[in-house]
Structure 1
Amino acid sequence: MFAGGLGIVLGGPSLLMAISSVPWPGSGVLTAAITVAHAALAARRAAPLGSFVVVCLAVAAQALVTGFFLIFPSVLVFPLSLYSHTAHGRHPALGPIAGAAGAALVTFRFVHDPSVTAIMRPSAWLLAALLMTIVVAAWSLGLFRRTQLAYIAVLKERAVDAAQRATLDERARIARDVHDVLAHSMAVIVSQAKGGQYATDRAPQALGVIEETGRQALTDLRGLVGVLRTGPAESVPQPTLRDVPELVAQMRRTLPDVTCTERGSARPLSPAAELAAYRVVQEALTNTLKHAGGGTRVRIEFRWSDTELVLVVRDDGRVGVCGPGGKGLIGMRERLAVVDGSITAGAHREGGFVVEARLPYPVGERS
């Protein structure tokens, strides 16, 4: 579209001037060179180098015919082609070299053309300086545009990388959630199934817990699968600290001796930090049920200090039944790292196993 418009605005008058002012066969050469130059300009984006070379040859052909070609409007095709090649071509340094050579050729031809010298005495140095100024301006604008395009390309690449990282982070989060849901639910189901085998009178209660736990696990998994299918906007609400009492109440069916206490004044946490705290409690209770059994005593304590929440989950089960290298604890460590928290887990000196997590408050909530 742009090249076609220039062909009409610049090419038409140039062709009329060439035909009316230059005798044949020179006018034929000028007509062909002007037409080729405008046609080559149309390919300035698809083939920057080829388009620029053709324009240079077309301009040289016009200069060889007459020095008066310099007053043709179509002469502007050369700086436009120089700009486009510098902005989009692979060899931007070629532009000023070709421009300097062209300026020298055009200057020599113009000041030595008899038809020009018959009516004026042009200054070679002044003309050369003017032409080189045009060349440098076109080349500089092309370099500026080239820098803009490179910067835009870098921004697009960073955006793609950020999207890919976000996708991987979301997949990792979903994988952790799936692990937490399955590990917790299956631990409860297995514990109840074992208890039902040896206590016939508890079989209905155990089956009821299994049914309820399985149904809740299916609901959670459907929500996670929904995220994979439709994206985070369709995800189910994530647990927070307000859901911890309900979690403890559910676990008391398989771990009767579970208590939860708080010390200090509660502070607001980010949604990610609340989810991480909830998962720490869930994973710690699940590990106790899996490795220490349903008769273990568990103490959950929330310590609200001036700068952070310290969450401690301790049981009095067998020492060494759960180490910090398990996938669940690795997942907890990853969750806490996202919110600048930390976690330690291991055997307690007085017996049993202890998990201690530290979650810093948002900057505005610290004393």
Structure 2
Amino acid sequence: MPRWRQATRTDLLLAITAGAPVAALSLYMAFVSMPVGRAAPLGLGVLIAHAALAARRTAPLASYGVVCVAFALQAAASGLFLILPSALVFPVAVYSLGVHAARRAAAPGLAVAAVAAVLAGLRFVADPSVTAAGLRPNPIPVCGLLLATVVAAWSFGLYRRTQLAYLALLEERTRQAATEQEERARRAVLDERTRIARDMHDVIAHSLSVILSQAKGGQFLVRTEPERAAEVLTTIENVGRLALTDTRGLLGILRSPEPGRVPAQGDSGENGARETREPQPGLRDLPQLLDRVRAAGLTISHHEEGSARRVSPGAELAVFRTVQESLTNTAKHAGPVARAEVRFNWTRDSLVVTVRDRGGRGGRSVDSQGTGLGLVGMRERITAVGGSLSAGLDGDGFLVTARLPYDVEKAA
């Protein structure tokens, strides 16, 4: 149900259940204490004032105006309207105006209420029924009491308005927090998918490059050196098995119902093989990577300078994938007599990793800015851990340089 309709029903119910007895008592007092000719307009004003409260929240300014008109009608009929129980409708209307009306109506509404309070006090003091009874009340206390009632009702209205504004602010912040949480979760999912896509690219591209290179060489060895052909097939089998294990691990992440969940014993992947979540590769796995690429026929030299320092697991993974992708590109593009050099330079403030190939560019088509998909993935990985990467032609070869500062926050 819309809020305005719910507010209307609530106020209408309140006007009937609480206002009807008060209005009935006021009508009884009016028709008992004065002639019908004067009591009739007084009773009409009472009914109009009570009915106007049904719209005190949905149309506060209009409701307040109708209440003012109704009380003016009662004051014209008799000054005794102030002693009727229905006189409480006016401060309720002032309170509702302070709570629900627009801010631009605040000052005019309070001014009208103050003037009405003074006129009502003077009308009561000057009423013939009051003077006929020998009562001569001082107008100053009477008007002061009515003004105090108006100011109190207005003040309570402003206080309630502040409370409602604070509650609305809390609700809005809660909605914003929920929206931001959903957005963060959505971004986390997208980032995870992007990371998995990069890992799949690295695993599959590297493994297939080695397998194709070995298979091409094996075609000639079968006819000339059959005994070495068996070694080639063993290398293909090992690389394929490792790639299958890595791929199953990545697919296990996608199939896991909860982030970070390790499949339980009995969870099976394709061909009944149990999916495992192997640790991400790091610098400790670099020698095995170089051995696999050497087994594929690429000559690689590995050098380290300086004292090795501890880097984060994310940085280790980024370096491993960078070296893997660089060597994969070398095997695919640098030509049959290419050789590669992998150098780690542990400087005072950063780790500098360079992968350089020599022996001809062959079919390399990547420009100096590194716009190939593999190089884009390398650059994103290195940047994600606070480093920088450059790639480009270097004489008759290609050079990839990655720099990772030890203190990422200071570098940033």
For each residue in 1:276-302, what CA deviation from the matched residue of structure 2 results, as whole angstroms up to 9, or x when unmatched?
333322322222222225764333333
Q: Which residue is 1:94 aligned to?
A: 105
1:30 is aligned to 2:46: yes
The CA deviation at 1:192 is 2.0
The CA deviation at 1:224 is 4.6
Q: Which residue is 2:63 aligned to?
A: 54
Q: What is the root-mean-square deviation in Å for CA atoms of aligned residues?
A: 4.2
Q: Which residue is 1:192 aligned to?
A: 211
Where in structure 1 are there 5+ consecutive unaligned residues? none
Task: Choose which of 289, 314, 334 in structure 2 pairs with 1:292.
Answer: 334
Task: Choose which of 100, 111, 116 in structure 2 pairs with 1:85.
Answer: 100
Q: Is the 8 A contact 1:317 1:353 kept in 2?
A: no
User: Does the residue aligned with 1:22 lie in a helix, a strand or coil?
Assistant: helix
Q: Is the 8 A contact 2:301 2:342 kept in 1?
A: yes
Q: Within 5 A, what are the aligned runs for 1:3-18?
A: 11=19, 14-15=22-23, 18=26
Alignment length (residue pairs) = 352
Q: Is the 8 A contact 1:267 1:365 kept in 2?
A: no
Q: Aligned AA for 2:254?
A: V
1:287 and 1:64 map into 2 onto residues whose CA distance is 94
Q: Which residue is 1:109 aligned to?
A: 120
1:143 and 1:116 map into 2 onto residues whose CA distance is 41
Q: Which has the higher contact order (CA 8 A, sep 6+)?
A: 1
1:317 and 1:79 map into 2 onto residues whose CA distance is 91
Task: Choose which of 249, 252, 259 in structure 2 pairs with 1:232.
Answer: 259
Q: Which residue is 1:181 aligned to?
A: 200
1:345 is aligned to 2:391: yes
Higher alpha-carbon deviation: 266-275 or 153-162: 153-162
Q: Aligned AA for 1:81?
A: S
User: Does the residue aligned with 2:386 lie in a helix, a strand or coil?
Assistant: coil
User: Does the residue aligned with 2:295 lie in a helix, a strand or coil?
Assistant: coil
1:85–1:290 Cα change, 3 Å: farther
1:120–1:299 Cα change, 3 Å: farther
Q: Which residue is 1:135 aligned to?
A: 154
The CA deviation at 1:234 is 3.7
Q: Which residue is 1:357 aligned to?
A: 402
The CA deviation at 1:194 is 4.7
The CA deviation at 1:344 is 1.0
1:278–1:194 Cα change, 3 Å: closer
1:242 and 1:79 map into 2 onto residues whose CA distance is 77
Where in structure 2 are there 5+ consecutive unaligned residues? 1-5, 32-38, 75-80, 223-228, 263-276
Q: Aligned AA for 1:54?
A: S
Q: Is the 8 A contact 1:189 1:213 kept in 2?
A: no
Q: Within 5 A, what are the aligned runs for 1:317-328?
A: 317-319=359-361, 321-323=365-367, 324-328=370-374
Task: Choose which of 138, 144, 148 in structure 2 pairs with 1:121.
Answer: 138
For each residue in 1:321-354, what CA deviation from the matched residue of structure 2 results, as whole angstroms up to 9, or x when unmatched?
54311122222323333333211112235x5222
1:305–1:219 Cα change, 3 Å: same
For each residue in 1:53-83, what CA deviation from the matched residue of structure 2 results, as whole angstroms up to 9, or x when unmatched?
3354245424532344698555453354234
1:29–1:266 Cα change, 3 Å: farther
Query: Given the two structures, how large is their TM-score scaled by the length of structure 2?
Result: 0.67
Higher alpha-carbon deviation: 280-289 or 140-149: 140-149
1:150–1:58 Cα change, 3 Å: same
Larger radius of gyration: 2
Q: Aligned AA for 1:121?
A: N
Task: Choose which of 185, 193, 208 in structure 1 pairs with 2:237.
Answer: 208
Q: Is the 8 A contact 2:206 2:328 kept in 1?
A: yes
Query: Given the two structures, how large is their TM-score scaled by the length of structure 1?
Result: 0.74
1:167 is aligned to 2:186: yes
Q: Aligned AA for 1:57?
A: V
The CA deviation at 1:137 is 6.1
2:404 and 2:130 map into 1 onto residues whose CA distance is 85
1:116–1:308 Cα change, 3 Å: farther
Q: Is the 8 A contact 1:247 1:282 kept in 2?
A: yes
Q: Is the 8 A contact 1:63 1:106 kept in 2?
A: no
